[in-house]
Chains A and B, each alone.
Chain A
Amino acid sequence: MNELSLDFPQGSLTALVGPSGCGKTTTLKMINRLIEPTSGVIEVQGRRVLDMPVHELRRGIGYVIQQTGLFPHKTIAANIGTVPSLLGWDKARVRQRTTELVDLVGLDPELLSRYPAELSGGQQQRVGVARALAADPPILLMDEPYSAVDPIVRARLQDELIALQRRVHKTIVLVTHDIDEAIKLADFIALLNVGGILEQFGPPADLLRSPVNDFVANFLGRERALKRMGLLRVRDVELAPVLDGIDSSTAVRLDTPLRQALDVIVDSHARAVAVVDEDGRVAGMLTIEQIAAGMAKR
């Protein structure tokens, strides 16, 4: 690959997406130098990665991979404590940090004395994330982290990552071939084409609203408007005044995703649905026209 220039905004999650052969994993692995770039410059927080001792660089970057890569011969506690131990933290500090992380990723502390093979796929993936965050690195690299778990667990792990990111604000680079995963998780999407060509970079909603070319449009797939509605919430569009006789039994909330609100409208054979605020008071009415108008503005 050649001539790829990317900025990963601090504290946000950027997804590298593209077909196989687009170099998304290569790009990721060049950041922690698992693949050495032959030319070009990669900087992490203003420091050139090629100028740093490779083990020091890597200890400062969290790394999560698809098959978890947990150490089968170490307990969950020892797995999570890997980088702190490499950094020479004393035992008590490592133990305290391990306990914090187990809590952060929502694992049962009982599991700390188990071995990875005794855990489910979802639990193993959570351990992988806890291990990557152990030394509190500012950067987290995630290589297809959820492609080996079943869809239900995957959806839950994705929700957990969103919640986790709200608390830790890491600069996350996530590689995925699943555009819907990228739309759901990312603040920014870098869509790559074969050969490492950057086709489009921007927030998911921007790509969905205005794909720059056919490649981007095709990769995003059909139902781009619906996918974009999944990113917006009812409060993001202007509501219509309430009409008498509206059925409030089907009411949606202000924080309901727009896509889900549309589903409610269609499913109840109506043209509108009542919207209630946090206190359960009717705040307005959402119509299909309102949704379309709101989408056009954004």
Chain B
Amino acid sequence: MTVHLFGANGPDSFIWWDWVDRHSADIKAATLEHLRLTLIAVGIGFLMSAVLSVIALRWRWMYSPIAWVTGFLYTIPSLALFVFLIPFTGFTTLTGEIGLISYTLLILIRNIVEGVDGVPASVKEAADGMGYRPARRFLAVDLRLATPTIIAGLRIATVTTIGLVTVTGLIGLGGYGGLIDDGLKRTFSTPIVVGAGLSVVMAIVLDLALVLLERTLTPWSRRRVSS
């Protein structure tokens, strides 16, 4: 089936649908790889951030060194970081993930710590006064109330990571970056359009999924003052 979206359809069109049809398996593989790289990065990044945030919350003086180091990692341009890592870890998923995970830490740690700090002092005091033990209070009160802020951090980290995964295509990893790289090398616009377009779609879909997750986890924030 051929759709003439932008005038005559051929190898020189903005998007050549025949190519898309013939490469649907490649596009599907790229999508799965892009998703895999993103989920690993955000997943491991979140776990590391959770641990580092608990450390920062428990020992307040640790917060500034943690913020400083993750802030420094965040300022390194992604391509430069990948190139720097290649001599050590080669053209591997590991190289890509080290970079991708590093970039999630600053956003996630900041949102977890500020989310927990943002829990009203009166609520914490009431919880203590009623006999919550510290660990239980942290899990059942502080973390629950920080959920919207933590998920806001996850949304930013996820969307940013989806964008950065396209850069890992340049060091030979799959995903939409591979399609874009292919198109650039051959000055052939179709794979570039497909790769860029689908990464935007993926970002929107995952962002909506996280919004949905937040609404499910925070039923109290949907209902507001009635009287």
Contact = CB atoms under 8 A, between A and B. Distances in A.
Contact of B225 (A59, A70, A117): A117
A72 interface: yes
A70 B133 contact: no
A109 to B, nearest CB: 16
B132 A86 contact: yes
Contacts of B227: 118-120, 123
B133 to A, nearest CB: 5
B221 to A, nearest CB: 8
Interface stretch (B97-105, B107-115, B121-129, B206-214): B121-129
A115 B145 CA distance: 13
Nearest to B226: A118
A63 B218 contact: no
B223 A82 contact: no
B7 interface: no
A66 interface: yes
Interface residues of A, number: 32
A71 B141 contact: yes
Interface in B115-153: 120, 122-123, 125-133, 141, 144-145
A73 interface: yes
Nearest to A115: B220
Given A117-B225, A118-B224, A120-B227, A69 B133 contact: no
A83 interface: yes
Given A118-B223, A118-B226, A65 B126 contact: yes
Contacts of B223: 114-115, 117-118
Contacts of B226: 114, 118
Interface range, B side: 20 to 34
B128 A72 contact: no
Contacts of B127: 69, 71
A59 to B, nearest CB: 4
A117 B133 contact: no
A73 B123 CA distance: 11
Given A71-B123, A118-B225, A65 B129 contact: yes
Contact of B220 (A63, A67, A117): A117
Contacts of B129: 32, 34, 58, 61, 63, 65, 69, 141
- The residue among A70, A71, A119 with the most chain B CB atoms within 10 A of its own CB is A71
- The residue among B120, B130, B144 with the most chain A CB atoms within 10 A of its own CB is B130
Contacts of B145: 71-73
A287 interface: no
Give the top 9 A-B pairs by smallest Cβ distance, nearest first.
A69-B126, A59-B131, A63-B129, A58-B131, A67-B122, A69-B122, A55-B131, A115-B220, A73-B220
28 contacts: A54-B131, A55-B131, A55-B133, A59-B131, A63-B130, A65-B122, A65-B125, A67-B122, A69-B122, A69-B125, A71-B126, A71-B127, A71-B141, A72-B123, A72-B145, A86-B130, A86-B131, A114-B223, A115-B223, A117-B220, A117-B224, A117-B225, A118-B224, A118-B227, A119-B227, A120-B227, A131-B130, A141-B129
Given A63-B126, A86-B132, 14 more contacts: A32-B129, A54-B131, A55-B131, A58-B128, A69-B122, A70-B126, A86-B130, A114-B223, A115-B220, A118-B225, A118-B227, A119-B227, A131-B130, A141-B129
